[in-house]
Amino acid sequence: MEIEQYSLFGDVIHTGYKAVNVASVPQRSLFRYPGGKTWFVPRLREWLKSQIDRPVIFIEPFAGGGIASLTAVCENLVSSALLIELDEDVAAVWEVVTSGDGGWLADRILSFEMNNGNAATVISDNPESLRERAFRTIVKNRCTHGGIMAAGAGLLKKGESGKGVLSRWYPETLARRIKAIHLVHSKLEFKHSDGYGVLDEYKDDKDAVFFIDPPYTAGGKKAGNRLYTHSKVNHELLFQKCSGLSGDFIMTYDNCAEVRDLTVRYGLQAKPIPMKNTHHAEMTELVIGRNLDWMDGINRVLEQQAQYKGAKASET
Ligand SMILES: C[S@@+](CC[C@H](N)C(=O)[O-])C[C@H]1O[C@@H](n2cnc3c(N)ncnc32)[C@H](O)[C@@H]1O
């Protein structure tokens, strides 16, 4: 079988027969996000293009690094996007860039001298301003192990090629991404709140589509608990709310018995999608929705595309 397999923060997507470079997907997010969905972007595009009418609003109730919303808006697949995130630190970044204050953040990043001492000072600070909190989040996200946002993640000691905190510090790349987000910021709305409430708010909106990527904690899985400050998910309630939405939606989930059972009970469809996790272990995740006909042919091999010009392959 020809299959696609993805590397979360890696450079190369291996397929059953060919390797496809993940750099062909523009890295638009400001975050290195645990559980980030950059690898899913080709499928996201197919789903959005399969909609009969171009969606008026793309809603991402568990936004994290927000690659889905950014892709949808920057590639004109939807008119606007609403991102929701509960984590206060992650929210600070979104609040700054969606309010049109990205220029300040870009300048702060460009003028910062990154080294162990300065990174530790920024991370241990408790800033009152939203701007400085946003900056601290970026530093923390770039300089701690695996980009893990939950409390207690240590500073990178070795990093790549022994470069420590500099391993993932790409100020120009980040500034360029902030500028790109700024260009579309009027089409982006952010809410620092609970994603469940927004599902209720937009329940009857037929012009809305929803991309739902919750922390993976179903079936007693612990990964979500370790990776995020907010990881409690009532999976049953989420399925219940999603199945009541007027607009189309997809959920991405880990492939476990509890999730498969919820899918059946709520009359939804699920299809496995092969991927590689950060440890290069092969696994499948599930795409869940009302009608997944658009996924027919999912197993075809992606053609290698020209390398994305905006960033080196390793600048994730
Ligand atoms: C799997 S991550 C999303 C990753 C994202 N799709 C990306 O590509 O970067 C799940 C996110 O949901 C957030 N979260 C958890 N519970 C939430 C809630 N009730 N409402 C909003 N966000 C929540 C977590 O803080 C985390 O950032």
Reply yes or no on whether the pLDDT at 122 is more than 60.
yes
CA distance 308 to 24: 5
Split at pLDDT 50, 70, 90, the class of 274 is confident
What contacts 112, CB < 8 A, 6 or more positions away? 118, 122, 135, 139, 171
Least confident of 6-15, 195-204, 243-252, 279-288: 6-15
Residue nearest to atom 3 of ligand 1 (CA): 64
**CB distance 248 to ligand 1 below 6 Å:** no
CB atoms within 10 A of CB 173: 17
Beta strand 282-289 with 249-254 is antiparallel
Rg, the chain, Cα only: 19
pLDDT at position 33 is 87
Q: Buried b / exposed e across 39-62, counting CB within 10 Å, b at 16+?
A: bbbbbbeebbeeeeeebebbbbbb
83 ligand 1 Cβ < 6 A = no
Residue 120 has pLDDT above 80, yes or no: yes
What ligand 1 atom has the least distance to the C-alpha of 67? 8
CB 7 within 8 A of CB 39: yes
Distance 194 CA to ligand 1 centre (A): 10
C-alpha 86 chain-centroid distance: 14
Which residue type is seen at 4? E
Q: Ligand 1 pocket, 85 CB below 6 A?
A: yes
pLDDT tens digits, residue range 19-58? 344 556 899 999 998 888 988 999 999 999 999 999 999 9
Kindly indicate the confidence band of residue 13, based on its pLDDT and cuts at 50, 70 and 90: very low
Give residue-wise pLDDT tens across range 170-225.
999 999 999 999 999 999 999 999 999 999 999 999 999 999 999 988 776 666 77
199 lines ligand 1 (CB under 6 A): no
Distance 150 CA to ligand 1 centre (A): 12
The amino acid sitting at 155 is: L
